[in-house]
Amino acid sequence: MLSISLVAEEVFTVGNFPVTNSLLTMWIGIVLVSLTVIVGMSRARLVPRGLQLILESIYTFFLNLCESVLEDKKQALRAVPFITTIFLFVFAANIFSIIPGVGSIGFYKGAHESTEQYIAHAAELPPADMPEAVDEAHENSAAVGAGHEGETFVPLFRPASADLNMTFALAIISVVVIQIVGFKSLGIGYLKKFFNFKSPITFFVGILELISEFAKIISFAFRLFGNIFAGEVLLTVMLMLVPYFVPIPFYGLELFVALIQAFVFAMLTLVFIKLAMISHAEEH
Amino acid sequence: MEQEGLKLIAMAIAAGFGAIGPGIGIGILVGRALEAIGRNPDAASKIQTNMILGIAFTEAIMIFALVVALIIRFVE
């Protein structure tokens, strides 16, 4: 049976702090990205080669992007570290969804330990009144690993973006940065966007702007989480339906989605930063 | 058992109806983008990048519906 869990499973605890599989994968991603950058830039040459060339072209790409959106070289130089960091981090978090072993390597946990978190499992199928379902469950659990009935499978790794906690945290960071940039460039006048008592219409528009500021967090978080989680589910279902060859194009699709979503997250943050820097008076 | 069946129906409705709007949206989006490329083939790369960005945003709405469907199914 499919083992799809909406929440990240706990792998082990450090003191009282539960370490989930998505957090573990995120740490690995952070270490890998840091190592890549450190190794690539440790022997930096004037004429870049190899890894340094790749890293520098990523940086230049985002510098050009920031410059074209913000229309100011100085501000682009200040924005580009944040934007590039978001891109690299989200990409590193996404790319784990297509690495083999992520989601399939794991261990079995006893049924007595908090099963309510683990869902859609063979063991939870109704036992008595549906004989064929039980047969199917037996077959499937035998396929997954014989003799593990009543236990739940806990994957050791899980893509960090497939955990709503991580995407929500990232969305909050990005929206807070947008507000800070707004206050920095417009001063206290930034609040005029949200609280404007000139006329009832402007007041109402301000309230809408305020709500949309919070809606940004939710849409950021759910876009990334939904895309990567849906990709995971898609791959799991395809692998269950046709185990050989057919899932290969879907891996390509997931690679594309991982790249596009990382870019969309960075790009949207950049565009919202630009919007926060413009006052309403200038707009009209 | 009945509760479970209702949940499955609710999930199917949420995902199915959620797919209608973005489906139409992506159709219009790509159609217009191809029209624009046909008119001005030199701008193809620029239009393509923006088209993919637009598709990603439109697709996100479908993904919201999918997340709602998955939450209906899997969250007790």
Residue to substitute from A2, A3, A6, interface B, most B β-carbons within 10 A? A6
Residue to substitute from A227, A265, A269, interface B, most B β-carbons within 10 A? A227
* Assembly ipTM: 0.74
Contact B67, A222 (CB under 8 A): yes
Task: Report residue A9 as tokens.
Answer: 């499973």
Which of A77-91, A111-125, A173-187 is predicted with the least confidence, judged by mean pLDDT?
Answer: A111-125
Chain A residues with CB under 8 Å of B75 CB are 6
Q: How far is CA A45 from CA A50, A96, A142, in A?
A: 11, 31, 56
Would you say residue B26 has pLDDT above 50?
yes
d(CA A169, CA A175): 10
Distance from CA of B68 to the nearest CA of A (A): 9
Question: What are the structural domain ranges in chain B?
Answer: 2-74
d(CA A28, CA A36): 12
Triad A207, A210, A211: Cα angle to 5°: 90
Would you say residue A86 has pLDDT above 90?
yes
d(CA A130, CA A216): 46
Residue of B nearest to A7 (CA): B75
Listed as own residue / partner, the contacts of A146-151 with beta carbons closer than 8 Å and 24 or more positions apart are A148/A108, A149/A122, A149/A123, A150/A110, A150/A111, A150/A123, A151/A108, A151/A109, A151/A110, A151/A111, A151/A123
**A261–B76: do the CB atoms touch at under 8 Å?**
no
pLDDT the model gives residue A135: 46
Distance separating the N- and C-terminal Cα atoms of chain A: 58
Give, for A12, the enclosing helix (H) or strand (E). Answer: strand A10-14
Residue A243 identity: P
Going by pLDDT thresholds of 50, 70 and 90, the confidence category of residue A128 is: very low
pLDDT the model gives residue A237: 84
Going by pLDDT thresholds of 50, 70 and 90, the confidence category of residue B39 is: very high
Which of A14-18, A118-122, B20-24 is predicted with the least confidence, judged by mean pLDDT?
Answer: A118-122
Residue among A4, A225, A263 minimizing CB distance to B67: A225
The pTM is what?
Answer: 0.79
The pLDDT tens digits of the residues spanning A153-172 come to 788 888 888 888 899 999 99
Helix (H, G, I), strand (E, B) or coil at B17: helix
Would you say residue A107 has pLDDT above 90?
no
pLDDT the model gives residue A147: 47
Contact B18, B65 (CB under 8 A): yes
User: How large is the average pLDDT for residues A106-111?
Assistant: 72
Superfamily of domain B2-74: F1F0 ATP synthase subunit C (1.20.20.10)
Residue with tokens 């570290």: A81
Question: What are the structural domain ranges in chain A?
Answer: 10-105+156-283
* Closest-CA residue to A99 (of A221, A228, A10): A228
Contact A255, A98 (CB under 8 A): yes
* Closest-CA residue to A92 (of A146, A161, A156, A1): A161
Which residues, 6 or more positions from A171, have their beta carbon under 8 angstroms from its beta carbon? A216, A217, A218, A220, A221, A224
Helix (H, G, I), strand (E, B) or coil at A108: strand
Chain B residues with CB under 8 Å of A223 CB are 60, 63-64
Fill in the DSSP letter of residue A13.
E
Contact A220, A170 (CB under 8 A): yes
pLDDT the model gives residue A122: 44
The pLDDT tens digits of the residues spanning B54-66 come to 888 888 888 888 8
Task: Report residue A208 as tokens.
Answer: 């809408």
Residue to substitute from B53, B55, B67, B76, interface A, most A β-carbons within 10 A? B67
Going by pLDDT thresholds of 50, 70 and 90, the confidence category of residue A34 is: very high
d(CA A23, CA A161): 10
d(CA B53, CA B42): 19
Distance from CA of A42 to the nearest CA of B (A): 33
pLDDT the model gives residue A118: 45
Would you say residue B75 has pLDDT above 80?
no
**B59–A267: do the CB atoms touch at under 8 Å?**
no
Going by pLDDT thresholds of 50, 70 and 90, the confidence category of residue B53 is: confident
Q: Where are the beta strands (DSSP E) in A138-268?
A: 152-155
Task: Report residue A118 as tokens.
Answer: 């683990």
pLDDT the model gives residue B49: 81
